[in-house]
Structure 1
Amino acid sequence: MNYTELEVWKYSRGLVKIVYLLTKSFPKEEIYGLTNQIRRCVVSVPSNIAEGIGRQSNKETIHFLYIAKGSLQEVETQLYLSFDLEYISEEELKSTLEKLISSKKLLNGFINYYKKM
């Protein structure tokens, strides 16, 4: 299976772009704080999906898919923190959370698919 053809991987790549564009406007003093943290977490989602697909067993694959799921949870928390700190608007929060929730649903479906294999 080629991970680059997976919808769940493609969608998570799109989420990376959204978060990077969103965090461009964060205060400069956050470059090594929240900006860096949220970017690292969002990048780990497609990265762990790809790594999981490259593993030898379904058990290993599922493990990395769960790591990706955990990273989505982290990004969600960091989006709320960004809103609390007034780095993003309520509209930006809602819009990004919609994409994140869709990404979670795709990933959950993919995990369930792998569990049945």
Structure 2
Amino acid sequence: MNALRTIHDVPLFFCAAEGEPIGSERDALDVIGEASYQGARWAVVPAERLDETFFRLSTRVAGDIVQKFANYRLGLVVVGDISPHTADSSALRDFVRECNRGRQTWFVADADELDERLKG
């Protein structure tokens, strides 16, 4: 079930692990709309909710979704193990590394890593 939680004074919208895959700008807008309505500053999406095309950068799905979140000034956190995807793609590894340097999109392994990122 989707839920709004505040961690370190930051309102976060947590997407449920179960549900339709997020694989298009329209899907991203659904998440953005619900998160914004609830007053979140970040949307936290389990990696398993992302469509497989998200992890193939040649499809442009990841770029389109990340850009949609940026346009609406809502942060995106992908939580979970994406190592099978990054092991197969140096471009995806670079994308994740660059995202994690910024303040718009983060890829974190688990809730503890998210907590650490929000502290700093």
TM-score (normalised: structure 2)? 0.29
Q: Which has the larger share of strand?
A: 2
TM-score with structure 1 length normalisation?
Answer: 0.29
Compare the two structures and name the one with the higher helix fraction. Answer: 1
Larger relative contact order (Cα-Cα within 8 Å, sequence gap ≥ 6): 1
